[in-house]
Structure 1
C-alpha cells in the first residue's frame, strides 16, 4: 500500500483510554479527517480517503471545509469539548494550502489543545525541482514552507522515506495524548512519498490504545500545601482550564465547600464552578469581576489550579497586591507549576491533587471574615451584572443587553462560543454558566475568525455525544462583524451537512475592543471604524459608514437569517429569535441572527488593568495623558520570577 493509505488506515485504529474515578472511557482518537485537495495530497491522502470511503467509510470519515485554517479550528474545538480525548486530522496541499494552517497550529499550541496536521510538501526526491509553490532558499535548499510549523508545533517531523512513517506517527500521537505536552502535531508528507508503495507490517495497523496520563501528587507536596493554607489569612483559588480537562469540577466544588476558600476563574476555567455557587467570584484579572479582583488584591496565598497565569489572568502582574502573597501552583505541566516564583509547585493532575488536599485539610475552614467579604463582593457584582443585562439603549442596543438576552434565552446545557474582540472580555465578566461544558471561548490566542469554525467543530462533538445517548446541546456562536469578516466561510460547510449552528452576529461597524483600547492609550480609535476613505486627509475615521449587509451575505451562503430591527423592542426580539432558532430541528442547517449594537457602550469595569505600552513621548495631548495613567499602573506591577 502507499504511505498515504497507511496513514489513513493507521489513524482509523487509534483510541484514547481514560480513567476518571474508576470509570473507564475508550473512544476514537481521530474520528475523521478534514482536507482540501490540490497538488501534493490529491493523489496521496485524497486517493487513500476515497479508497476507504468505498471500502469502509467508518474507518476514516472525510469532511469538507472551505479554508485550511478553519478546518484546524474545527478540530481544536472538537478536542476542547471532548476534553482532549479526541481530535481531527487535517490534510493540505503544498505551499499556500499548508501555510494556511500556520495560524491554526499556533492557536492549538497556545491553548494546549491537540490537533494533527498533515501538510503536504515538495518532492523528497527532487525529481521535479523546483515545483509550483516551492520556496527556494539559497542558504538551505531543504527548507520548505512546512519548516514554519517547527516553532508552532509541540511535535514536528518530515517523512522523507516510507520506513520513517511508524516512528513519526507513534511519536506524534504520544504528544497528542500527553496532557502536559499536547498541542499542534505536524507531520509533513512530501507529495511523492505519499504516493510511494511500501510493505508495512500487519502489526502496524492493529488497534492501539493511548492512555491519558493523570499523575498523582507527591505526598510531601500535599502536606506542605496544607500547612501553607492553614497558615494563610486570605487564601484564594485561581481555577484554570486544567480543572475542566481533569474532570475536576465536582472535586473543586467539594473542596471549596469544605474549606470556604473563594474561587476566581480564568477564561479557560469558566464553568469550573457554577456562577451561583457562593464560593464562585467569577472571572479574575483584566477581564474579571470586581469581586474576584477585590479578593485577589488582598490574597496572601494564591492556589493556582490548572492555570498558565496568562497576563489577563494576573492583570499583567498587578492583580495580587498583598506584599506577602505566595503562590502554590497545581498543574500537570511543570512549565506552569513553576510560574510566579511559586513557593510550592505541585506537578499533578488537578482532580487527584484536590482529593488529596481536601483530605489533608480535614477540619480546616477559612476565617469567617473572609467568607463575609466574599459574600458581600459577590452580591455587589451580581447586582452590577443584573443592571448591565437590563440596560436599554435605543435605537442601537448595548452589547451588555445582547449578552444578557442571549444568556437568559439559552438552556443551561447549551454552549456559547466566542474568541476575539470585545465579546470575550464581556462574556468572561458577565456570562452565567451552570454547566462545565457551557462556555467555549478561545482566548489563549484570541483568534479572529475562530468563532464560526470553532462552533462547527464543537457542534460535531455534541452530535457525536448525542449519537452515544447523551442529551443534546445547542451551540450558539456570538461573533462581531470584525471576526465574521475574517472567516465566515464554514457556514457553507454547515449548510452542506445540514448542521444546526446558531450564530448571533453583532454588527457595530467597527472594532469595538481595539477601538476602546486605542482610545484609552491616547490613539483616538485610529483605524478601528468601518468608514469610507476621506482622500483629502487619507483617513478612515470620519467618513461615511460602509454599506455592509452581513445578513444578506449570510443568506447568499444558504443560511437561514433572522434580522433584528433596531429600536425599543430589539432585545425582546432577539430573545424570541433565539427561541425560534433553538426550536428548529437538528439537521435543518445553520441559523444566523443579525443585530446591530452601539459601538461605544461599555461593559462594567473589572477594576483592573492590562499592560499595553503607551508612547513615552508624543505630540498628541491624548497620548501624553494616557502615558501618565500608564505609568501609575506600571508602578504597581510585581516583578515575579518565572
Structure 2
C-alpha cells in the first residue's frame, strides 16, 4: 500500500470506517451507520469493545442492549423508520451471543431491511482447539457457529486477516445500501484478528457516499403496463412496503387521484394512502377488509407496487379469482416484479408511479366502479366503528376496544409498532393510519419479541414522534429485556401490554384447524393433562415495574382511555397494562389462509376441519 497510513487495530479501523459511510438519495445525505449496539464477551470485549471506547461516542455512539436478538430488532426498527437510508450495527461475542443473532438476521433479510452484524468469531490463528464456545466440526476446520448466519444474511464474510477488512467492508456497505439486495449483512470477526494492528491507508477512512438509485422504468415495459391499465375495467392497486421505502406515497396518491384506481394495502404497505382517502380500501388479503378483498376477487387487473405477494396477501393463492385476471408488478427487484406471471415494470416505486401517471394521462376508471368501492368503504367504516365502540365504559375492554381507545388518543405523528399474535390481524383490518409511517407492522417474519426493541429503534430514529409498542402477554414473556434499555437511555416508548392468558391468535387457528386449542393457554394443567385449569397467577404489570418502567393499570374502557392519555403526555417510558374481555372478537377473516389440516384423524374436530380445508384448497390457482 502506498501513501499515508494510520496504525490501528482491525476493530478500531472498522469503527472508524463505519463513521465515514453515508447514503444519498434525492440530494439528501445521511449517515449510514448511526450507532452500534453491543453486548460484550471474551469474543469482542477487547476488540470491538475497546475500539468503541477508543474511538469515542462522537465517532460511533454505543447502545447497551440486554439480548442479542433484541438488539437486531432495535436496529431494524430504526432502519425501517429511516426509509432504509440509515441503520445500526450490532456486535456480540462468539458462541451463544452470535447465534442469538440468527432470528433477528432472518427478520431483517425477509423484510429487506438493512442491519450490520459484527459477531465475534473463533481464533483465526487457532492457538488451541477448542477454545471456549468453539464448535468443532470433524470434517471442516473452518466452520464456526457463525456459519449459521449465512443463509439468513444477504452478505457474509469472515475477516481472518487484517487486509481482508477493506474489500469485505466495502462489499458490506454496497449490499446495505442496495434497495434490491439489502438485508442482514454479517462480518464475522475472529477475536484475535479484531485486536491485531495494521497500517491502514488513509483513503479507507475518507467520507464515502453511497448513492441510493431510483431506476426509471423501461419504455417498453411502461407502455405495456399503461396499455394493460387502460384496457382494465376493474383494476386494483396492491400497495406494499416498497411504497414506503421509496417515499412514493405522494406519487401513489397522484396516480390514484388522476385515475380513480382503488388501493388495498399489505401489512408493510398500510398507510401508503391516508385511511380517509376515498380510494383507500384498507388491508387486503387474509387479514384484509371486506371491500378490499371483494374487489380483489373480481379484479381483472392487479397492479402490485412494491409487494412481494406473501401468502397472507394472496390468501394462499385463492384471492385473485377473476377468470381473466392479469397482473402488472412495479418493483425495484426483478425477482418480485415477475411474480404471478405479471407484466413486469422493474423500477423504483416512486419513479415508476410517476411515469405511469404520465402514461395514463386522461384515463379514469368508470364512475360506477368508483361508486361501488366507495360504498363498500363506507360499509366497512361502520364495521370499524362498531368494533371500536364500547357501550359500557365501565366494563373490561375487548381487544378491538383497546384499539378504539388508542385510535381516539393518537395524533397523526404517533407510531404503532406490532409484529405477532392476534393484534396484526385486528390492526390490518381496523387501524386508521393517519400518516405514512404511523403503522409499523413487522409481518414478513411475524416475530414474537420484536415490538419492544423495535419501538426503541423507531423512537431513536424519530425522537419527535410518540411510539406505542402493542404487545400481548405471550409476546411480552418472549422478550421484555429492552425495557431496561429504554429506562437506562431515557427512550420514551409507550408499551400497551394486553393480558389474555395465552396465545390468542394461535389458539383461534388451532380451533379452526381441528387442534382444539391444544397447548395455547397459559393455565394450570388439569387431571386430563391439558392446560385448561385456572389462569396462572402471573402479574406482568408488576414485572414491568420491576424493570424500571412506569406502569398504569387499566381495568375498564374508561380507565384505559385515561391511562393512554397519561402515557402519551409522560416524558418517561410508560406501560399501560390492561386485561381484555376474550368474548369480544374482531370481524372475521375475509379471505382464506392455507394451514394444512391432518389428513387422517379420529377426533371429530379434526375430521370436520379437514373437510373444510379440502373445500377451500380447491380454490387455489396458479396464475399463468
Q: Provide TM-score, normalisation by structure 1.
A: 0.95
Which of 524, 543, 546 is the matching residue for 2:536? 546
- Matched residue, 2:466: 474
**What SS class does the counterpart of residue 613 from structure 2 fall into?**
helix
Alpha-carbon distance in 1 for matches of 2:326, 2:491: 48
Written as runs of structure 1 = structure 2, the 5 A alignment for 1:44-193 is 44-53=47-56, 57-193=57-193
The question of 1:623 aligning with 2:623 is answered no
- Matched residue, 1:466: none
The question of whether the paired residues in 1 share the 8 Å contact of 2:287 and 2:590 is answered with no
The question of whether the paired residues in 2 share the 8 Å contact of 1:123 and 1:129 is answered with no
CA-CA distance at 1:605 after TM superposition: 1.9
Write the deviation string for residues 48-104 of structure 1: whole angstroms up to 9, x where unpaired.
011122xxx211011100001000000000000000000000010000000010000
The question of 1:537 aligning with 2:528 is answered yes
Which of 496, 510, 514 is the matching residue for 2:506? 514
Alpha-carbon distance in 2 for matches of 1:440, 1:58: 30
The question of whether the paired residues in 1 share the 8 Å contact of 2:396 and 2:557 is answered with no
- Matched residue, 1:370: 369
Which of 11, 20, 33 is the matching residue for 1:4? 11
Q: Provide TM-score, normalisation by structure 2.
A: 0.98
The question of 1:440 aligning with 2:430 is answered no
- Matched residue, 1:484: 476
Alpha-carbon distance in 2 for matches of 1:112, 1:119: 20
CA-CA distance at 1:598 after TM superposition: 2.4
Which of 545, 548, 556 is the matching residue for 1:555? 545
Alpha-carbon distance in 1 for matches of 2:606, 2:623: 29
The question of 1:578 aligning with 2:578 is answered no
- Matched residue, 2:579: 596
Written as runs of structure 1 = structure 2, the 5 A alignment for 1:394-405 is 395-405=395-405
**What SS class does the counterpart of residue 204 from structure 1 fall into?**
helix
**What SS class does the counterpart of residue 495 from structure 1 fall into?**
helix
Which of 583, 594, 597 is the matching residue for 1:614? 597
The question of whether the paired residues in 2 share the 8 Å contact of 1:392 and 1:401 is answered with no
Alpha-carbon distance in 1 for matches of 2:616, 2:28: 48
CA-CA distance at 1:391 after TM superposition: 4.0
The question of whether the paired residues in 2 share the 8 Å contact of 1:293 and 1:606 is answered with no
CA-CA distance at 1:392 after TM superposition: 4.8
Alpha-carbon distance in 2 for matches of 1:605, 1:524: 18
- Matched residue, 1:329: 329
Alpha-carbon distance in 2 for matches of 1:497, 1:280: 39
**What SS class does the counterpart of residue 60 from structure 2 fall into?**
coil
Alpha-carbon distance in 2 for matches of 1:608, 1:153: 33
The question of whether the paired residues in 1 share the 8 Å contact of 2:499 and 2:579 is answered with yes
- Matched residue, 1:635: 618
Alpha-carbon distance in 1 for matches of 2:162, 2:412: 50
The question of whether the paired residues in 2 share the 8 Å contact of 1:512 and 1:600 is answered with no
Alpha-carbon distance in 2 for matches of 1:238, 1:385: 21
Written as runs of structure 1 = structure 2, the 5 A alignment for 1:84-483 is 84-342=84-342, 344-392=343-391, 395-463=395-463, 472-483=464-475
Alpha-carbon distance in 1 for matches of 2:515, 2:522: 17
Please tell me the root mean square deviation across aligned C-alpha atoms, in Å. 1.0
Alpha-carbon distance in 2 for matches of 1:127, 1:392: 72
Alpha-carbon distance in 2 for matches of 1:170, 1:92: 21
CA-CA distance at 1:262 after TM superposition: 0.6
**What SS class does the counterpart of residue 639 from structure 1 fall into?**
coil
CA-CA distance at 1:395 after TM superposition: 4.7
The question of whether the paired residues in 2 share the 8 Å contact of 1:237 and 1:303 is answered with yes
Alpha-carbon distance in 2 for matches of 1:598, 1:323: 43
**What SS class does the counterpart of residue 46 from structure 1 fall into?**
helix
Unaligned 5+ runs, structure 2: 1-7
The question of 1:29 aligning with 2:21 is answered no
Count matched residues. Answer: 616
